[in-house]
Amino acid sequence: MMQHATKVFSAQTKFVSSAWGIPTYDVSHDQIEALLSTGSTVRAQQELFQKMPIGLQMCFPSPLPIQETSQVLTPWTLAEFQQACKKQGKYTAPGPSGATTQHWQNLPIEGQHAVVEFLNHIQQTGVWPTAWKHGHIYPIPKGDKAVAWENMRPITLLETLMKLVTRRILERLQPILAKHEVLHNSQQGFIPGGDIFEPLRTVLHTYELTKLQNIPAFFQYLDFKNAYCSVPHWGLALSLACLQLPQALKTPFDGR
């Protein structure tokens, strides 16, 4: 997978450079693998990143302050674990193991302490359970359309314990990403305070205004098919490396 990704990455750098009129830099497959490897140092990643075409560098975020990102993985406490289970809800669909959130809630206090120690061990070592990378995929029909593969939306059911961890990471990381404007300001969904209805209202009001005042206007709507599946793995890995997030946050995406 990594070898294929580096080949694609090399081709992408040359394409972007030529398209934007920027000189192509020779970045070898070995250098890219070193950049994406878990053992590469921050300094080595920065040095290699500087060798990339300027146009491609602009596509990736700047490093986040370590003093802020380090707070994302502060140790779990028993009270926090209990609150996270309560917030997630007992009806959350389970993953391959069949363990529900209610199973974790019903553990005796000794068992909950053991789970908390387990979660903190994951954060300290950066080693995530291999089983957490597996899930059950179920095809869900889109509305009342005829049942065909192109009209199916796949949903993956993952382990409920992993969901507790990722939700905690998301809630702590989102304010940092918003503060440092990592996401483009046109992004409205999946961000703190974001509201997808605001851009919809803007479009509707603009349409009404142009119609009332007889102003020529052209509206174009773009819908990216399988948008979430179109992000290349090497791009995600490189973005995480550029942000300089703690290793425990990057391990789930290392492709292994």
Q: What is the pLDDT of residues 208-255, one digit of tens each?
A: 999 999 998 888 887 777 776 667 776 777 777 778 788 778 777 665
Confidence of residue 40 (pLDDT cuts 50, 70, 90): low
Q: Do the Cβ atoms of 42 and 82 come closer than 8 Å?
A: no
φ, ψ of residue 115 to 5 degrees: the values are: -65, -40
Q: Quick one: average pLDDT of 9-13?
A: 41
Measure the CA dihedral 53/54/58/61, to 10°. 70
Per the CB < 8 A criterion, the answer to whether 206 and 213 are in contact is: no
Strands (E), the chain: 136-141, 152-157
Q: Whole-angstrom Cα distance, residue 243 to residue 138? A: 33
Mean pLDDT of the residues in the chain: 77
Q: Which residue has the tokens 């969901």?
A: 163
Label residues 70-84 b or e (16+ Cβ within 10 Å = b): eebbeebeeeebeeb
Q: What is the pTM of this model?
A: 0.70
pLDDT (0 to 100) of residue 242: 77
- Residue 15: the pLDDT is 38
- Give the separation between CA 248 and CA 245, rounded to whole angstroms: 8
Strand partners, 85: none
pLDDT on residue 7: 40
What was the pLDDT predicted at 115? 95
Residues 6 or more apart whose CB falls under 8 angstroms from that of 22 comprise 16, 53, 54, 55
pLDDT at 79 over 80: yes
Give the tens place of pLDDT for each residue, 160-181: 999 999 999 988 988 888 888 8
Q: Is the pLDDT of residue 77 over 90?
A: yes
For residue 19, pLDDT beyond 60: no
| CA dist., res. 53 & res. 23, Å (int) | 7
- The arithmetic mean of pLDDT across residues 73-92, rounded, is 91
Rounded distance between C-alpha atoms, residue 227 and residue 112, angstroms: 38
Judged against a pLDDT cut of 50, whether residue 156 lies above it is answered with yes
Picking from 164, 100, 166, 158, the residue whose alpha carbon sits closest to that of residue 130 is 158
Q: Is 9 in contact with 49 (CB distance < 8 Å)?
A: no
User: Whose CA is closest to 176, among 39, 85, 43, 64?
Assistant: 64
Residue 185 has pLDDT above 80, yes or no: no
Show the tokens assigned to 52: 């990339």
pLDDT at 49 over 80: no
Q: What is d(CA 159, CA 96) in angstroms, rounded to the nearest whole number?
A: 7
